[in-house]
A and B are shown apart, each in its own frame.
Chain A
Amino acid sequence: MKRMKKFLSLLLACMLMLNGTVLYAVGEEALPSETETAPDVALSDVVDEKYDAGDEIVEWREEGVKHYYLGDGKYQAVVQVGDMVNQAQSRSTSTTVNSSRYPLDTYLSSFYKDVCYGESDEVWVGSYYVGLFYNNRPTLPANAVIESATMHFSYYYHVSTGSMTVGAYAVEEYWDEYTVTWNEMDAYPDMGISTTASGTVTLAASSTNSETNPTRASVSITDIVRSWYSKERSNEGIALKRISGSNTSVILKSYESEDEDHYAYYTITYSTLDGNVVPKGEYYLQNAKFEKFAEIDDDASATTDGAIIEIWNFNAEADQKWNITYLYNGYYKIISTASGKALTAPTSTNASITQNVYTGTDKQLWVIKKNTDGTYKLSPKSNQSQYMAAGAGLITARGRNVEMREEQSDNRDDWEIMILYDATLVAIPAGSGHPHDASFLDVQTALGNRGYVTNRIVTEVTASGCSAYIATSKVFYSRSHGNTTAIQLNNETLTVTKINNLEANAFADCKLVVYGACLTGKGREGAINLVNATYAKGVTSVIGFELSVNCEEMNMWATAFFNAIGQGKSIEKACEAADAKITEDWDDIITTDSWYIAGSKNTVLN
């Protein structure tokens, strides 16, 4: 009874002061399906509690949800859901696809640094020239393993002897074929071009090689192409630069030559993994045996090169966050949010795993495989028969080191991968035939284009729960009834008064709140309305509506708005894009164009 009373008081504190963050394990099934609803906190759901020696609740759980005590009456919620991401080792047979055959191409000349050569039918590469090429990249499956990528082109010389070796480099800055000049690119460090060649090729001159009979050649661009797909860099194209040789310049056929057989293009040969991959994102790694989380050892500075990794109680701090990126080569890199350094395997068995500057060594490339119980094993490319595991023995007050060990008989070498939701969509259940959440799948997809992981909730949400979602999400979108000073949840309301009672900057981590409800922006700037109250708590941009909105129209507006956000438009431009969509509709009722933005109008979500 005493415990229950204490629990009740803590639960109340949790609901009122929740700095809580909801974590979900990753994977296709982990994300709520169309009909699935995320669990809401309810006392009746509590199935287990854990206490420390002082009888304080340090962990309690409902069905599928764990809440960890962070101190000061605050909890963090972690949700474990169903099946997980799977990466099996078997791969499909290889497939080869081509880029578009219609490149944007030009060259830069150090002789004429202000001249743009975009309309030239030649691309010069040499001691005084750099060639630039851009092709649209083909769509690949998310679980593709790029075996190789090759750029193909045709060249000729005005001489019949000698040769030149050229390298293929990634262009890292945007350029426009019809305006770019040497001077423009020279304003960037290294001219906006990577410093390491992905591949090289020696182009030989010959007596038969000529403008009318150019020679075909190819160069490896595998590393560059993988980095495009893993989103480590955007596709700004390929630069060809002279490295060495007896000849000083070589000429390639450009698109403007209208010689279709000799345009530059590239091919990608890939296979696919038998399973899904972990989407690029920030995650927590929880040890399955000890239920503690991998972090950088507190005994060392979080940024120290070579600091060891340990497991520790969940605290949601940056040194427990790991950025997992699938590299499209069958492996992942795992980078600490706190340090920017990579999870690095040791050379010896049972030695500690550390963090080190990422160099792409095999010790920093990881395979992530699913176990039958839904947990994962992580093994380094350098030694794939060994696994990331909690060290031997029990956990101590100093934590427990994370080591590279042979497969364990218990599950200390098994891990859960858990993700923090970036965006939360809340809708009251359909009432009077109104499908309030009708836009949620579209919104989720649109936000996914910005790399956001979205939680969709169509259930009973409390006002304090709603505040917590705003506090812990980068994007919050609600669909409900509303008026100037409140939105209706299910059995209660989130009001201006309740928001005013929150601590200053309670919503400082949130970038965008959209209240898809009537009148929440009525009176606009200076008025007492829900938008201004929310903005006053630190959200970057808050949107509401000055007029009453129609449910169907609101859903359509939201879909168009978030689609524009997903395409990288600013808040204001996205509002206008949504207006345009509504205007194009044949419905006469148009009130969503009464939007009001408190705060930044130019924010672009990233």
Chain B
Amino acid sequence: MYNHNRMRQFLGLALVVFVSFSTLLFSSCNNTSSSLQVVMWGQADGTVFKSSVKSVENATNQYQDEEAQKEKNVTLVNGEIEKVYYVESHKKGQEELAVYSSKNGNITCSYDRETNKLIKLSAKNNAIIVPDNVKSEVDYKAWVEGVLALYGVEDLSDYRYSCKTAVVVSNENSTYKETHAYFYSDQKANERISSLEFSYTKYIEDYPTTDRIEVSVLTSGSIIVKFDEHRFDDSVYISFDESDIHTAVESFVSSSINAGEYKYDTINITNKVLTHYDTEVCMQVYVEINMLNRGDHTPVTTMVTLLVFEK
């Protein structure tokens, strides 16, 4: 299984990683709660935060894997078999994927380097077409689950279904993309559906995890199927307390803001997802920060993504 092998492989490395990572956490978090540590994920906004605030993220490295299988046969959603050829490999954090593509470039697949499991299938230029009779959400859900069954995903009992619809809205002087967290079928004249995303997410005690299976249908002619699963199959779950998270995040944010420019006001945690950084389980939180500009006292809002670890 995806995570079993990985966890075993990195068990020995975990201690080394944790020691070095803890050093980073302690050096960048001054006033976190007693049980949790917080670190910035992604870029730290240099306008808003002190320059001393460190951030972490996983860069993607591309490389040629000489040992990769040169070609594979992949079964498409419609049951047809397509030959795909090795392109390159991607390494991001602990994940390594081998990317393959069909000769005309319409089919792209990614496979896990260790398990050879299909992680993503992308079909462009109408290489795969949703059947004409699939129109309602019920139709789509049945079709999507049929697609997943084709790739061996039949038991979705641990996963919660959701659907998102991206709609491009055009007004006289602006155009923007609006995402509805449901199957949107009530299009107005100035709206155009650009994509439908059907996802199945594993939850642990009401927290979504990064274990997700996803089928995206882009009206531009692409269908993408992703299998990001099994990371949380046998990980030891660390119980985060809601109030502790809020306290830790607020403490981190208020002490990290560039106090010469801004005065901290409130935070609003908009989303939480259980994830991993290296081998550590952590909570990824999306935080809206409300501040006041010290110069003219105007309200300023920014958003950041943080990782919350149990000490």
Q: Which residues of A contact B (CB under 8 A)?
A: 428, 431-434, 481-486, 488, 493, 518-519, 521-522, 524-525, 535, 546-548, 550-552, 571-572, 575-577, 579-580, 583-584, 586-589, 593-599, 601
B119 within 8 A of A: yes
Q: Are A518 and B302 CB-contacts (below 8 A) given A588-B212, A595-B176?
A: yes
Q: For the complex, give the distance between the alpha carbons of A188 and B202 in Å.
A: 61
B220 within 8 A of A: yes
Sample of 17 further A-B pairs with CB below 8 A, known A576-B168, A586-B226, A594-B179: A431-B43, A431-B44, A432-B44, A432-B55, A481-B46, A488-B47, A522-B301, A548-B286, A548-B302, A551-B42, A552-B60, A580-B222, A583-B195, A584-B122, A586-B120, A594-B177, A596-B176
Q: For the complex, give the distance between the alpha carbons of A54 and B2 in Å.
A: 79
List residues of B (27-59) whose CB comes within 8 Å of A's CBs: 42-48, 54-55, 57, 59
Q: Are A598 and B224 CB-contacts (below 8 A) given A519-B303, A548-B305?
A: no
User: What are 12 sample pairs from A and B whose C-beta atoms fall under 8 A apart?
Assistant: A488-B45, A518-B45, A522-B301, A524-B174, A551-B43, A552-B57, A572-B175, A579-B177, A583-B216, A586-B97, A589-B305, A595-B176
| Contact mask for chain B residues 97-117; partner A; CB cutoff 8 A; 1 contact, 0 none | 100000000001010000000
Q: Is the CB of A483 within 8 A of B210?
A: no
Q: For the complex, give the distance between the alpha carbons of A552 and B90 in Å.
A: 14
Q: For the complex, give the distance between the alpha carbons of A499 and B266 in Å.
A: 28
Q: For the complex, give the distance between the alpha carbons of A305 and B246 in Å.
A: 76
B300 within 8 A of A: yes
Q: Are A598 and B302 CB-contacts (below 8 A) given A488-B45, A572-B168, A583-B216?
A: no
B257 within 8 A of A: no
Q: For the complex, give the distance between the alpha carbons of A535 and B57 in Å.
A: 33
Q: Which 7 A-B pairs have the closest CB atoms?
A: A601-B175, A548-B303, A596-B176, A481-B45, A488-B47, A597-B175, A525-B174
Q: Are A525 and B176 CB-contacts (below 8 A) given A485-B300, A588-B210?
A: yes
B194 within 8 A of A: yes
Q: Is the CB of B57 within 8 A of A550?
A: yes
Shortest distance between the CB of A364 and any CB in chain B (Å): 44
> How large, as a class, is the contact surface on chain B?
35 or more
Q: Is the CB of B173 within 8 A of A483?
A: no
Q: Is the CB of B43 within 8 A of A432?
A: yes
Q: Is the CB of A584 within 8 A of B108?
A: yes
Q: Is the CB of A550 within 8 A of B42?
A: yes
Q: Is the CB of B174 within 8 A of A596?
A: yes
B9 within 8 A of A: no
Shortest distance between the CB of A210 and any CB in chain B (Å): 40
B304 within 8 A of A: yes
Shortest distance between the CB of A45 and any CB in chain B (Å): 25
B170 within 8 A of A: yes
User: Inside 8 A of A432's CB, which chain B residues have their CB?
Assistant: 43-44, 54-55
Shortest distance between the CB of A565 and any CB in chain B (Å): 15
User: Inside 8 A of B300's CB, which chain A residues have their CB?
Assistant: 483-485
List residues of B (208-258) whose CB comes within 8 Å of A's CBs: 210, 212, 216, 218, 220, 222, 224, 226, 228
Q: For the complex, give the distance between the alpha carbons of A525 and B174 in Å.
A: 7
Q: Is the CB of A579 within 8 A of B195?
A: yes
Q: Is the CB of A579 within 8 A of B194?
A: yes
Instruction: Find the B residue at minimum CB distance from A599.
Output: B173
B92 within 8 A of A: yes
Shortest distance between the CB of A426 and any CB in chain B (Å): 15
User: Inside 8 A of B305's CB, which chain A residues have their CB?
Assistant: 548, 550, 589
User: Inside 8 A of A483's CB, which chain B residues have their CB?
Assistant: 45, 47-48, 300-302
User: Inside 8 A of A551's CB, which chain B residues have their CB?
Assistant: 42-43, 57
B25 within 8 A of A: no
User: Inside 8 A of A594's CB, which chain B residues have their CB?
Assistant: 177, 179
Q: For the complex, give the distance between the alpha carbons of A572 and B195 in Å.
A: 14
Shortest distance between the CB of B271 and any CB in chain A (Å): 11
Q: For the complex, give the distance between the alpha carbons of A459 and B226 in Å.
A: 39
